Structure 1
């Protein structure tokens, strides 16, 4: 439809609307929230105001009286709303949330917060032309599953060892990160490691973990991290390296990166490594904040980095005071 420009504006907006309603309803269904996506404006309005008449709801939401009357009748039948008749004028009545409606709106609140984050990410762009902006929004909304992205933020995340079914996600997540931050500094070494984690990391003594939300049909992978042992340095430190820390953009800010990094740190300590290192870039402010918080300290590169994009080298000592010789 895009080829016909503004002549299909209504159809394109309806397509977006229909798609979003379906996705939101899927989220509500997965979270066992007993409301319809189409009910939300009325439920939210009554949650904030307490009670209103059908006419007042229609005026506040800029909807037709018949449309609101039809919706609220359904909501009363589903026990989401209660109707109260005015004692002074039997012709007047008001609507308010029932106990079920109040409970549903409380349960849906964390879902709405995560949905807001995803939708704001999808709509954060600038364009002077509305039709160009609409095309970008269509690409964001229609190309992926809003429901899966929201559920990835809501559901419990497990950190598990990489298996064959996770390898594509390992490649895709890390390549998406490279293309976003360093599109002109992706080299053959990157592609080789990402395409063959079993051969390039695991068979060489390393470990790869992925952060997953388990569903009935598959694992939804939202993050990755890798560990590899290094040769001992001049001080005979048993060294390891963490790398390929990547979190899906829609899942960022939910503690996934911290969970992955904590897993790698705990593993390194349990395996007797005394020093853990990593390379990063000074432009990655959030990553630097994470590493600082977890005790990594910036130092001089012991050897030149294999990656032109890496301009920061950091180390974390894994030797606790209780591990040292008390003498």
Structure 2
């Protein structure tokens, strides 16, 4: 439809609306929340004002009276709303949420927090042309994964050792990180390691972990980290710390790094090292939080993109 420009604006907005409702409904169903996504505007309004008439609801939400009446009738049957008669005017009635409706909306709140973050990310485009902005929004939101992204942000992750089934996710997460921050500095060595972590990390004595969100049908890999222990067993390098873009800020990188530090201590490692870049402020702050200190490197890095070398002393921590 994009090729027809503004003539399909209505159809594209309708398609986007239908998609968003469907994705939110999918999240509600996974979380066993007993409401329809289409009920949200009315429930949110009543959550704010306490009670209101159908006429007032229609006016506040800029909807037709028949549309609101039809929706609220369904919501009353579902036990989400109840109707009361105005003591001063028996012809006038008010709607308010039941305890069941209030409980459902409380469970919706965490979902809305994560959904708002993802939608704001998708709508933060810089184009001054509305149709261009709409195209960017469609490409970012209508990828079939919005519900999964919301659920990824909602649920706690678990950290597990790498398995062959994680191969594709390990490659994709780390390659996405490289393409975002260093698109012109991706090396053949990067591609080699990411394509086959078994041969290039695990079979050489290294360790790989992934941060997972358990799904109904399959696990979702949301983060990765690597530890390469030197031959002397005293020094180990932290590498390949990557988190899915839509899950950043949820503490996944922090959990992965903490896991690696604890593991290194258990193995008798006395010094952890890592390389990073001066333009990666969030990463630098995370490493400093975990006690890594900038040092002068003992040898040049194999990566042109890294210009900071850091160490963390583990000796005596136990």
Which TM-score bucket, shorter chain as reference? over 0.9
Instruction: Report the alpha carbon displacement of residue 216 of structure 1 after superposing the two structures with TM.
Output: 2.2
- Give the match for residue 220 of structure 1: 220
Alpha-carbon distance in 2 for matches of 1:264, 1:123: 36
TM-score of the aligned structures, taking structure 2 as reference length: 0.98
Alpha-carbon distance in 2 for matches of 1:144, 1:201: 33
TM-score of the aligned structures, taking structure 1 as reference length: 0.95
Residue 16 of structure 2 is aligned to residue 16 of structure 1: yes
Q: What are the within-5 Å matches in structure 2 for residues 307-318 of structure 1?
A: 307-318=303-314
Instruction: Report the alpha carbon displacement of residue 98 of structure 1 after superposing the two structures with TM.
Output: 0.5
Compute the RMSD of aligned alpha carbons. 1.0
- Give the match for residue 26 of structure 1: 26
- Give the match for residue 296 of structure 2: 300
Residue 43 of structure 2 is aligned to residue 43 of structure 1: yes
Instruction: Report the alpha carbon displacement of residue 320 of structure 1 after superposing the two structures with TM.
Output: 1.9
Alpha-carbon distance in 2 for matches of 1:19, 1:319: 54
Length, aligned pairs only: 318
- Give the match for residue 174 of structure 2: 174
- Give the match for residue 67 of structure 1: 67
Alpha-carbon distance in 2 for matches of 1:304, 1:152: 38
Alpha-carbon distance in 2 for matches of 1:101, 1:209: 41
Alpha-carbon distance in 1 for matches of 2:299, 2:10: 60
- Give the match for residue 91 of structure 2: 91
Residue 270 of structure 2 is aligned to residue 274 of structure 1: yes
Q: What are the within-5 Å matches in structure 2 for residues 191-206 of structure 1?
A: 191-206=191-206
Secondary structure at the counterpart of residue 241 of structure 1:
strand
- Give the match for residue 288 of structure 1: 284
Any stretches of 5+ residues in structure 1 without a counterpart? Answer: none
Alpha-carbon distance in 2 for matches of 1:302, 1:121: 40
Alpha-carbon distance in 1 for matches of 2:142, 2:312: 43
CA offset digits 1:46-68 (Å, max 9, x no partner): 00001111010011111111111
Any stretches of 5+ residues in structure 2 without a counterpart? Answer: none
Secondary structure at the counterpart of residue 227 of structure 2:
strand
Alpha-carbon distance in 1 for matches of 2:261, 2:121: 31
Q: What are the within-5 Å matches in structure 2 for residues 201-280 of structure 1?
A: 201-232=201-232, 238-280=234-276
CA offset digits 1:235-256 (Å, max 9, x no partner): xx81000100000011111110
Alpha-carbon distance in 2 for matches of 1:284, 1:13: 37
